[in-house]
Chain A
Amino acid sequence: MTRTVPPSSEPEAQTSTGPKDVAPAVALHTGTSDVRALLTSNLRQSGIYVAFVVIIGLFAVLTGGTSLSPGNVTNIVLQYSYILILAIGMVIVIIAGHIDLSVGSVVALTGATSAVLVIQQGMPWWVGVLAALAVGLAIGAWQGFWVAYVGIPAFIVTLAGMLLFRGLTLQVLDNISLSPFPQGYSRIASGFLNGLLGGNGYDAFTLLIGAIAVAGYAVSQYRSRIARIRYEQPVESFPLFVLKIVLVGAVVMAFAWQLATARGLPIVLIILAVLIIAYSVITTRTVFGRQVYAIGGNLAAATLSGVKVRAVNFWIFVNMGFLAAVAGVVFSSRSNGAQPSAGNMFELDAIAAAFIGGAAVTGGVGTVVGAMVGGLIMAVMSNGMQLMGVDQSIQSVVKGLVLLLAVAFDVYNKRRAGASR
């Protein structure tokens, strides 16, 4: 593989990137050293993907292939979608240096709100959804106010919120469970888009969506490549670029095939995909996203660079409230009702997903995609252990150890980076 060298790069830049034992020119033009450098410098990011693939492989072997069966892949998506939705908001909160312990209670309260309206009052399903989202936004504004404008640590504000919103859930539900939802509402989490285009033993529509996703990915990658070339930025060689797209396309299409041969395209997967794409763009490419990283990286420096820290913190929590409400709708739809204890401990799963996905306890570091992979690692593990019939207690022990090791790995890496300074 070769890499086009920008005309700007200076000799000293080349020597310092290349390994010491290889001549600089070789280091820049041979594929091996480049890939090695890429892997070692991104060990922290790539480590998580490697771990993900290993864990998928491990459970595929341990369960004799069951964990990768079409039905089970669909199940994982349905079962863990709400944790992933929460983890999107949580990783943003954590990047900014905060934490949110209340999301489990918010899931319960928003689900309860919509259950009361739809089940008890008989309103249409979309009224329940809008009401849940409104409650989530209001809760976010409430917590954002205390954190950003009063200056109470988020740990305290959201610990209070955890109790507060759990209590309100019990009030709203009058201490009883409500079920079932009408069909329109329950389709959100357990509905599928299939049979729209027919197909023999598989759903053609799911495959079409998969193909559109791959095409969209290819187009966006190509456009970004063109833009980088226009700005004289280094890009990977064209064959490598094609290889990358083919690989991603193959994985996506394999995944789509598994879904298509099971029950079709889950509606909740569409919701999740839209959220992941939107929030990846928000965190990496918008001014707001940059300011979140700036606040978490160095609060004082961000303040002295003109970042309106209070406003940013406020909106971070409003956003978390919104996503918790989305998760609340999905969860209540999936469990087809509202229970007083709904969403219990969800906050811990969401926090664990963010940290396993590479977010730093000290703030300033983390990605939405990382948090998704972190959440999926936990999902695949839980699901795999369930398939193997491992006892609930052992599952908990394993999950705890994985979280600990993931963060220990992170801390170890950081210390090593610090020592080489």
Chain B
Amino acid sequence: MDDHILEMRGITKTFPGVKALENVNLAVRRGEIHAICGENGAGKSTLMKVLSGVYPAGSYDGEIVYDGQPVRFNGIRDSEHVGIVIIHQELALVPYLSIAENMFLGNERRGRGGLIDWNKANAEAARLLAEVGLDENPVTPVGQLGVGKQQLVEIAKALSKDVRLLILDEPTAALNDNDSAHLLDLMRRLRERGITSIMISHKLGEITAVSDNVTVIRDGKTVETLSLHAGEVTQERIIRGMVGRDLESYYPERESHPGEEVLRVEDWTVWHPTQERKIVDGANLTVRAGEVVGIAGLMGAGRTELAMSVFGRAYGRNITGRMFVHGKEVRPKNVAEAIDAGIAYATEDRKHYGLNLIEDIRRNVSAAALDKLASRGFVNGNEEIKVAEGYRKSMNVRAPSVASVVGKLSGGNQQKVVLSKWLYTDPEVLILDEPTRGIDVGAKYEIYTIINRLVASGKAVLVISSELPELLGICDRIYTLSAGRITGEVPVGQATQENLMELMTKEKELAA
């Protein structure tokens, strides 16, 4: 019988309308590094939130056995109390506080009279920093450290809590190769000290390099747990587990007649707005009239950043490269110029970046092309209603009238309003970032139909999506993006989920 530190049995978690996890089983052996992988939205993070008590006992079905005892956590404090520490993808450090202050936040080292003993705290922090191999003064503000070092501070913080089971959610997503290698090294050393780790990762190279076992989750269900010691588990084998579902036939048929080139981006490089690293690195791509082109990439690959930087430099700095619309070079410096150049970008986050939720359909539809409705600065309100009403009907937005407030519509109908807004700008090329995120199957089908109608009328469409079946179902051609680089260009006839996933996880030749 194996010595398991953790067993999660039959975990089922439902959100209103969605079953996020269904009968998930996970067994983690004491002292191992256990990887969990799966596509975006497969339920990995939800599972870890169940484990750490973010979703308290009772809000899910199933059983958690930790150290041989059934446990019920009501909050993150309960799980930390028994030595389970989770480090989230978005680091939870306070940038203006020092390393030591962050490390003992909520867990302060008290001295006499209940006051914090800073000498003791700083000394202990220094010891823990040495343990994780970070050569920094404990009084340095965390904001002055790079992401890689902040990650190490998080791990040192976990050690200060006497961690026994460390959970890392995408620990290397934001790190460069050097920092990644260092972090993986540290994980191995922690394993030698007897600390068990669970690592959620997309990077299959890293998983096969450090972990002992890997559990694959797909659509909220456990697919399989593979032992990496047997030696026969390859990255291809893991990918098969991750994408193994059937392609459902809910993509409307379309005949493809690509015409002339509409958008060409050459040698496009974008730097992170505040950090010293490239987010997009020398990307080249083209989109032709009447063509749907997909961009596949995992979270953090730079998909959205690529699109937004093309859209009038709405993201990043030090943007270099050239772009052409209908063969003519354009250099939009802001969003207004990008719209004038015939580019439209429908965001992945419609609530925060796409819509004015407190306004009605009418004013949202006209927001990006108000000048078309105005003469000498005055908006023709009746014409505006007519235009919005036209889109409400043609897009089949389910709302009583164009005076309905957008914030009260369902996700699918909100997305149709976003599409209407961009269609009204009459773009040459329409970039759709996760066009079906968070909307139900029926609305998805409608969105695909709208996309088909667009390309049939000669528009060019560029689709960014995390769902590979979706890209395979609607695109003519798919680019893969990994760590800011375009790693492949595959005509849809030759694309499979497996070869796309392979290209999406292709890393730069790992630094030796």
Contacts and interface: CB of A to CB of B under 8 A. Distances in A.
A360 B357 CA distance: 14
B378 A286 contact: yes
B127 interface: no
A8 interface: yes
Interface residues of B, number: 42
Given A227-B382, A290-B370, A12 B398 contact: yes
Contacts of A306: 312, 334-336, 338-339, 368
Contact of B371 (A13, A228, A287): A287
Given A287-B374, A364-B359, A304 B354 contact: yes
A298 interface: yes
A294 B355 CA distance: 9
Contacts of B379: 285-287, 290
Interface stretch (B192-200, B224-232, B345-353): B345-353
Looking at chain A's contact residues, is the secondary structure mostly helix, strand, loop, or mixed? helix
A350 B352 CA distance: 31
Given A13-B400, A300-B352, A306-B368, A231 B385 contact: yes
Nearest to B339: A306
A2 interface: no
B488 interface: no
Contacts of A30: none
Interface string A347-370: 000000000000010001100000
A233 B357 contact: no
Contacts, number: 100
Interface in A333-347: none
Nearest to A288: B377
A290 B378 CA distance: 10
A15 B359 CA distance: 22
Interface string B300-325: 00000000000110100000000000
B353 A300 contact: yes
Given A305-B367, A306-B335, A231 B382 contact: yes
A231 B382 CA distance: 6
| Interface band, chain A | 35 or more
A325 B297 CA distance: 56
A17 interface: yes
B389 interface: yes
Contacts of B355: 298, 301
A132 B299 CA distance: 57
B13 interface: no
B164 interface: no
Nearest to B340: A306
Contacts of B382: 227-228, 230-231, 233
Contacts of A17: 400-401
Given A14-B400, A287-B374, A290-B366, 15 more contacts: A8-B389, A17-B400, A228-B382, A287-B371, A290-B379, A293-B359, A293-B363, A294-B363, A300-B353, A301-B352, A304-B347, A304-B354, A306-B338, A307-B336, A365-B358
29 contacts: A8-B389, A8-B393, A13-B399, A16-B400, A17-B401, A228-B382, A285-B378, A287-B370, A287-B371, A287-B377, A288-B377, A290-B363, A293-B359, A297-B357, A297-B359, A298-B356, A301-B355, A301-B356, A301-B367, A303-B314, A304-B311, A304-B345, A304-B347, A304-B353, A305-B335, A306-B336, A307-B367, A365-B358, A421-B407
10 closest A-B pairs by CB: A297-B356, A306-B336, A231-B382, A305-B368, A13-B400, A306-B335, A298-B356, A305-B367, A306-B339, A16-B400
